[in-house]
Every structure is written in structure tokens, then in C-alpha cells.
């Protein structure tokens, strides 16, 4: 049983004429007759009393017409549910790199919730490489990830470059130490192994024959920034990304010539996003805007050192 047979049956019933139904559908009279005959053969009943004029439905035909109209209406609803104009609804599974949690869950998250009220957001924080695999496997619809500047995003997934930020060593207010070995002796507050900043620090300390002296490990970037501001140890953060964290205004970045690192933020998404594609457009805009706001804050604090903000 095919939709064109059902659609033709309804047209003939409404027109009460095979010829008029053909005119409405753009089909020949013989084509309409064949479609009706096929439907009758599949159902095993006669749908029309062909001895009457205008053409009349049989008792079985009247029953079939009611079902046919419901089928056609359901088909239309099914198509409308996935039309491009339909507002994105349902569950959006979004991943974010640990160090980008403050950026992603700030104003960008509020904009998504306000702009797409029919959408339920489920956030998952992890390292960037596992997030890429989860998007690839279909367990996440997209993710905001962090890659070293020289790294390229996965070729098999749509990716949008949000921006590049330098990574700074951050310290408590009034601390102007510039000796990397001395910093290491005091200690670092960092995320656990897997963090790209930590890998860069390991490489910077290698010429001194040192391993990173990590005094505190935590995934929570707000906690790490707070510990740095209290003088517990030194941290690592890209400029512009921890501005949403309140304690960021109390820490300062230190410029060390033997430590240079930049990271790039990417928004990746599943190969097929369907109706939620506009959500990623909105998210990209919000992330870019927040990063630009973070850069403006950095420029202001550079002009006024007492207000210096070390953004991640």
C-alpha cells in the first residue's frame, strides 16, 4: 500500500469522478483507475460503486475513507515535525572541556535556554579527546573543545573555530616571580593528568631537570583560580576564558619568556544535526561574543595593573 494510492483514493472520493480527480492530481484517467484498482486489490474490497453517477463509495469505501484521511493527516504531521521551520525541541547533549566550563555555562547557556525554550540541555564535562570520540560515536550532539594552536580539529566532524588564546601562568596579587624553577618549588594547582596546560608545563620544566610539583589537583576551574588567588600555588590559564569566575579579578598573569603556549577553542558537532543545527549557530555567536568581552577586560586591566584580571 502506497501513499499515492491513498491520496488518489481520497481525491476520487472528494471529486466523485475519476476524470476530475485526475485533473486535480495531474494524472490521466487511466492512471487514476489503476491506482484505485491496486488499492482495492490490496484491501480485498470494492471501494466505489461503479454503477452510480456521480461515483459513490461503497460501505467499505466509507470506512476506508475515514482511515485514509487519518493516515494522510498523520503523514503531514510527521513531515512537519522535521521541517526546517520547526523550532528545535528535545534533548541537546553538549560536551565541554573542563577548562571551558565557565565560558560555556555562562551567558552562552543562558542564551540557548532563552532562545530555544523547547530544548532540554544536558551538559557533560571531560577532556577534549574523549569529547571528540563521544561526538563521533553519537553519544553527544556537539562539544566545545580545546586544542593546542598547532592541532587541527577532526576532519570527519563539522568544526567551527571560536578563537585562539595565549596561556599564562597566573599568580596571587602582588606576586611578580619570574623564575620558573622557584615557582615549581612553591607548587602548582592544576587539573589532573590529561590537561594540555599541564603537558606544556612539563615540557617547560624539562630543561631544568624538574617535574611539575603539583600541590593541588582539581577539575573545578573556579576552585583552582580561588586557590591561586589565596597564594596556595601557581596556575595556568588562557587569557579571556576565566573572566566569568569571580576570583579571576584577584589573580594576575605572569610573563615568562621560557613559557609560551596558545590554545584554540573549537565547536564541533555531529555529522547529522537535523533540527538542532540553528542551536549551534546561536552557540557559536554567544561563545565568540563572550571571548571578545574577555579580551576587552584584559586590555582594560593591562592599562590599570591594580585591576588586572588573569583570564584563563
| Residue 79 CB neighbour total at 10 angstroms | 9
- Cα–Cα–Cα angle for 96, 98, 102, rounded to 5 degrees: 80
Domain identity same for 277 and 173: yes
Q: What is the CATH number of the domain that holds 199?
A: 3.40.190.290
Spans of the chain below 70 pLDDT: 77, 79-86, 239, 273-274, 294-312
Domain identity same for 159 and 196: yes
Domain identity same for 70 and 145: no
Determine the pLDDT at residue 85. 53
Domain identity same for 73 and 135: no
Domain identity same for 216 and 279: yes
In sequence order, what DSSP letters do the residues of the chain get, joined into one string? --HHHHHHHHHHHHHT-HHHHHHHHT--HHHHHHHHHHHHHHHTS--EETTSSS-EE-HHHHHHHHHHHHHHHHHHHHHHHT-TTSPP-EEEEEEEEGGGHHHHTTHHHHHHHHH-TTEEEEEEEE-HHHHHHHHHHTS-SEEEEEEETTPPPPTTS-EEEEEEEEEEEEE-TT-----HHHHHHH-EEEPPTT-HHHHHHHHHHGGGT----EEEE-S-HHHHHHHHHTTS-BEEEETTSSTTSGGGGG-EEE--TT---EEEEEEEE-S--GGGHHHHHHHHHHHHHHHHHHHHHHHHHHHSGGG-----
Indicate whether 237 belongs to any domain. Answer: yes
Q: Model confidence over 46-81: pLDDT tens digits?
A: 999 988 888 999 999 999 999 998 988 888 767 666
Domain identity same for 189 and 63: no
**Who's near 262: CB < 8 A, 6+ residues apart?**
148, 149, 164, 165, 166, 167, 238
Indicate whether 50 belongs to any domain. Answer: yes
Cα diameter, the chain: 103
Indicate whether 312 belongs to any domain. Answer: no
Domain count along the chain? 2
Determine the pLDDT at residue 308. 29
Domain identity same for 77 and 94: no
**Cell 461503479 identifies what position?**
50
Q: Of 81, 100, 117, which residue is a domain's last?
A: 81
Parallel, antiparallel, or unpaired: how do β-strands 90-97 and 142-148 relate?
parallel
Determine the pLDDT at residue 106. 85
CB 64 within 8 Å of CB 81: no
Domain identity same for 177 and 256: yes
Determine the pLDDT at residue 82. 59
Domain identity same for 107 and 158: yes
Domain identity same for 159 and 294: yes
CA dihedral angle for residue 18, residue 19, residue 21, residue 27, rounded to 10 degrees: 110
Domain identity same for 153 and 293: yes
Q: Of 81, 99, 134, which residue is a domain's last?
A: 81
Angle between helices 3-15 and 29-43 (to 10 degrees): 110
Indicate whether 286 belongs to any domain. Answer: yes
Domain identity same for 9 and 156: no
Determine the pLDDT at residue 304. 36
Indicate whether 141 belongs to any domain. Answer: yes
Domain that holds residue 150: 90-307
Q: Of 49, 81, 113, which residue is a domain's last?
A: 81
Q: What is the CATH number of the domain that holds 75?
A: 1.10.10.10
| Residue 11 CB neighbour total at 10 angstroms | 21
Amino acid at each position: 500500500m502506497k501513499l499515492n494510492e491513498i491520496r488518489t483514493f481520497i481525491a476520487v472520493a472528494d471529486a466523485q469522478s475519476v476524470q476530475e480527480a485526475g485533473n486535480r492530481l495531474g494524472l490521466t484517467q487511466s492512471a487514476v483507475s489503476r491506482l484505485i484498482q491496486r488499492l482495492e486489490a490490496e484491501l480485498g474490497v470494492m471501494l466505489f460503486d461503479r454503477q452510480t453517477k456521480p461515483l459513490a463509495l461503497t460501505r467499505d469505501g466509507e470506512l476506508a475513507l475515514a482511515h485514509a484521511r487519518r493516515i494522510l493527516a498523520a503523514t503531514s504531521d510527521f513531515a512537519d515535525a522535521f521541517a526546517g521551520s520547526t523550532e528545535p525541541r528535545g534533548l541537546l547533549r553538549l560536551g565541554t572541556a573542563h577548562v571551558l566550563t565557565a565560558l560555556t555555562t555562562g551567558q552562552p547557556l543562558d542564551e540557548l535556554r532563552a532562545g530555544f525554550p523547547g530544548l532540554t540541555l544536558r551538559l557533560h564535562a571531560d577532556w577534549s579527546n574523549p569529547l571528540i570520540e563521544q561526538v563521533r560515536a553519537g553519544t553527544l550532539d556537539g562539544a566545545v573543545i580545546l586544542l593546542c594552536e598547532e592541532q587541527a580539529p577532526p576532519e570527519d566532524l563539522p568544526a567551527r573555530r571560536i578563537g585562539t588564546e595565549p596561556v599564562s601562568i597566573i599568580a596571587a596579587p602582588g606576586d611578580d616571580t619570574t623564575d620558573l624553577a622557584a615557582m615549581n618549588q612553591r607548587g602548582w594547582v592544576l587539573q589532573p593528568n590529561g590537561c594540555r596546560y599541564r603537558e606544556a608545563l612539563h615540557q617547560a620544566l624539562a630543561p631544568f631537570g624538574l617535574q611539575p610539583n603539583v600541590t593541588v589537583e582539581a577539575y573545578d576551574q573556579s576552585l583552582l583560580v580561588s586557590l591561586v588567588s589565596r597564594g596556595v600555588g601557581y596556575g595556568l590559564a588562557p587569557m579571556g576564558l576565566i573572566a566569568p569566575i569571580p576570583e579571576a579579578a584577584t589573580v594576575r598573569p605572569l610573563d615568562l619568556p621560557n613559557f609560551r603556549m596558545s590554545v584554540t577553542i573549537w565547536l564541533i558537532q555531529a555529522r547529522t544535526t537535523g533540527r538542532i543545527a540553528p542551536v549551534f549557530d546561536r552557540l557559536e555567536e554567544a561563545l565568540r561574543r563572550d571571548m571578545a568581552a574577555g579580551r576587552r577586560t584584559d586590555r582594560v586591566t593591562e592599562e590599570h595593573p591594580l585591576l588586572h584580571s588573569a583570564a584563563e
